Chain A
Amino acid sequence: MANLIPPRFKVVIDYERCRKCKRCVINCGFGVYSFADRVIPDHKKCVSCQRCVAFCPEEAITIIENPNVFRPNSYWTMEDRINIMKQASSSGMLLTGMGNDRPYKNYFDHLLIDACQVTNPSIDPLREPMELTTYLGKKPDAVKVKVENGKVKLDTQIAPQIKLDTPIIFSPMSYGSISLNAHKALARAAKECGILMNTGEGGLHKELYPYKDWIIVQVASGRFGVNQEYLDHSAVVEIKIGQGAKPGIGGHLPGEKVNREVSETRMIPEGTDALSPAPHHDIYSIEDLAQLIYALKEATHYEKPVSVKIAAVHNVAAIASGIARAGADIIYIDGFRGGTGAAPTVIRDHIGIPIELAIAAVDDRLRAEGIRNSVSIVAAGGIRHSGDVAKAIALGADAVAIGTAALIAMGCHVCQMCHTGNCSWGIATQRPELTQRLDPDWAAQQLINLVKSWSLELKEILGALGLNAIESLRGSRERLRGIGLTDTELAILGVKHAGR
């Protein structure tokens, strides 16, 4: 029976310009091209990752959406029909990479930031100090001081804090789901920017040990790579419960991606599937979570903050309150736009809630309970630019985490095929001939440039707001206005409508 699924993209080759250098054949990780007298594309294999386009010296390749995939229908979308055909031919679960791309309402784009005019003058960040320094960790409600010989001294032991030079960190992306070169780039950039990268649940490659002060290590249900040495080589330890792209779903790294180095880092046999189940089998209650938090604090001598990562779901505020009370120092909340290496498509597209609503709800709840100081909030899941960063912080986050944006900085074109392991850009793959394409020095510099650009823009936003410290924006919803939102949405976000 013929494959019913039509090609989603068409590769158009300008044979007048093509000099038959075969770079497209070499560069395509998905095997689109073959050569027989001239380059022949197999349109069905193309994912529009644009690697061939970028590397064609003659600019002879254009990839277009196949205009004749299906007869147009605004209810039965192309994706719906293709997915039905795939499932009808395979009887399997559909997998996808990257985040939810469905056109749900995007709350970031319905929020507008305030600016100064006459009475609260704006501040020029090029001439005045502008502070983005952010500390993550549990804070007490009050500072106690003592006066000795007329000098005021600190009399409170502050729980371990992590300093960020700018309120941005790199989201968890495991070694296995992305390449070692990508991990190296993230670690180098984190150090240079004074921020943090997160290992994800894939363990920590020994080559990253020198970056331990800028690394969050994850303890997920699979416990991949977790041992004392691993915990010791970190600034923060994070318990991963959920992730935005697939709340309630565990991880699965196919055995093909588990090469020798991945197997050593994850501490699993080479070539075996790395399965991390959704439930931690030692966490079936908040009390269990509290025990694990304190076990990790014991193991790290109470010198490191412990973070708990959850996906933004319907009852996220109450869950976050429980996590704060269970002793977490940081709560990492991942919205439904969060990316992933691989997720069931149906889960990615239909489960979870937007991070904007989650931050607002969690911040409100923790304040209502008077425990906001006891935990830092990191918001993630679809942060696209510094405007999103500022809005997330104004809604109540201490810092944001960026995953997809970081990948794009390293060359990712969001073809959403991470799960195939064929990433032509050498990022989401373990194929040696592909991973070598990503130069960690170049990629680190790209990341550094991105973080520095966003930081400059954040300073400009603060200056426009007449603020010179990021903590004055944190949770300051008075400086946001909603546009095109219902009363309920405004109430959840805790902002007034524009014009009020």
Chain B
Amino acid sequence: MDRTFERIPSGCAISGIMSVTGKRISGEKIIASISLMHDRSNGLGGGFAAYGIYPEFADHYAFHLMYQSERGRTLTEEFLNKHFIIERGEPIPTRPVATITDPPLLWRYFLKVPEERLYKNHEPMDERDYVVEKVMYINDNIPDSYVASSGKNMGAFKGVGYPEDIGRFFRLEEYEGYLWTAHGRFPTNTPGWWGGAHPFTLLDWSVVHNGEISSYGINKRYLEMFGYKCTLMTDTEVVAYAVDLLHRRHDLPLEIVAKVLAAPFWKDIEKMEEEDRKLYTALRQVYGSALLNGPFSIIVANSKVMMGLNDRIKLRPMVWGRRGDFYYMASEESAIYEIEPALDEVHVSKGGEPVIVRLKEGE
């Protein structure tokens, strides 16, 4: 009897590595991990987020820009000149890779915010709100220009292609970071284009995602009320903005943010002790529109944290493991063993239960 079955390709792959003591490693390992899951992608998107890669510009906002035209670059640089102090602006180093075709113009800028600009309607303004406002403006208003990342001492490297090819294209082995995330994309509802590849970022938040946010419509409309503009034509964008809103602006601990994005069921809330019940009821009442519904496994990172999170009924795979002070997360266990065969521990993450790994203070 023929025991072969027709395989239905459906995927996306995610992977993450973090040293909680801040040990920096090159991009080789993350490329090896994500490339093991080659078949979970289809060549229409791959990308990486890397933290700790620009120590010489650690206090600057590192803007990675994608330009579809020279005009886009001219207009954006005019805009950046007007609103920031540009310490340095240069093309992002790349190398030719046969499978990576038609890349946009890829530039990076190390920026500071002029203090005198931190006023809005004569009121002092948070510097990060200022940066977010400018990122939204560029993405929404300047033609042919997209901000790929805008955090400090970090960067997103992404494009159309398999992730391992994108990694080689961006010469990631030449960078050293203490936190890396990666994504291989299998887009099904939006086109494969450079700006649409993961990670999606804002400030130093980055998100890689396997799945589909079925609640995208209301998540998008909810975030728009707070000034976020979802212009990148894909569902994952909302996750980055939701985390920024809830954690940075609304000051909710990351554990609680996870409980907004993948909320406990009402039946479980009802069983909680009174104090918890009040808290979780309030979270669902107030943040119902931020609930991420549909299948997802995501790795959300910033310069201090890596968080893995599954949807609450666990419709996508996610495994995490640890070896010493290195933590690993991936769609498939094999993608972790590929780069760390001797794990101290390995676990399957539960639906709706975040796995949060933090940089140790002072390290």
Contact = CB atoms under 8 A, between A and B. Distances in A.
Interface string B1-30: 000000010100000000000000000000
10 contacts: A131-B266, A133-B266, A143-B250, A151-B275, A158-B286, A367-B221, A372-B225, A466-B212, A472-B215, A474-B289
B337 interface: no
Contact of B220 (A123, A144, A469, A478): A478
A475 B266 contact: no
Interface string B287-324: 11101011100000000000000001101000000000
Q: Pick the most buried of A121, A141, A147, A153: most chain B CB atoms within 10 A of its CB.
A: A121
Nearest to A396: B221
A257 interface: no
A145 interface: yes
Contact of B278 (A154, A465, A474): A154
Nearest to B278: A154
Interface stretch (A41-49, A112-120, A235-243, A407-415): A112-120
B210 to A, nearest CB: 10
Contacts of A367: 221, 224-225
Given A154-B282, A468-B313, A469-B291, 11 more contacts: A131-B266, A137-B285, A142-B250, A151-B275, A154-B279, A466-B212, A467-B214, A468-B312, A472-B218, A478-B217, A479-B217
B279 A469 contact: no
Contacts of B226: 370
B254 to A, nearest CB: 11
B267 A471 contact: no
Interface of A: 116, 118-121, 123, 128-129, 131, 133, 135, 137, 139-145, 147, 151-154, 156, 158, 161, 367, 370, 372-373, 465-469, 471-479
B295 A143 contact: no
B295 A153 contact: no
B216 interface: yes
Contacts of A128: 313
A158 B277 CA distance: 13
A142 B245 CA distance: 10
Given A119-B212, A142-B250, A152-B256, A373 B313 contact: no
Contacts of A116: 214
Interface residues of B, number: 46
Contacts of A143: 250, 252, 282-283, 286-287
Interface in B175-218: 188-189, 211-212, 214-218
Contacts of B70: none
A119 B211 CA distance: 7
Q: Pick the most buried of A116, A140, A151, A373: most chain B CB atoms within 10 A of its CB.
A: A373
B330 to A, nearest CB: 20
Interface in B227-273: 249-253, 255-256, 263, 265-267
A67 B23 CA distance: 89
Contacts of B225: 367, 370, 372-373
A368 to B, nearest CB: 8
Given A145-B279, A154-B279, A465 B214 contact: yes
A141 B250 CA distance: 9
Contacts of B287: 143
Contacts of B286: 139-143, 158, 373
Q: Pick the most buried of A118, A143, A370, A469: most chain B CB atoms within 10 A of its CB.
A: A143
Q: Pick the most buried of B211, B279, B312: most chain A CB atoms within 10 A of its CB.
A: B279
A433 B253 CA distance: 65
Contacts of A142: 249-250, 286
A141 B223 CA distance: 11
Contacts of A475: 217-218, 221-222, 289
B10 A145 contact: no
Contacts of A158: 282, 285-286
B221 A469 contact: no
A372 B295 CA distance: 27
B266 A466 contact: no
B60 interface: no
B284 A478 contact: no
A200 B38 CA distance: 63
A98 B252 CA distance: 50
A140 B225 CA distance: 13
A461 to B, nearest CB: 13
A477 B219 CA distance: 11
A471 B284 contact: yes
Instruction: Name the 6 nearest CB pairs between A and B, nearest first.
Output: A478-B217, A471-B288, A476-B217, A472-B293, A472-B215, A476-B218
A162 to B, nearest CB: 11
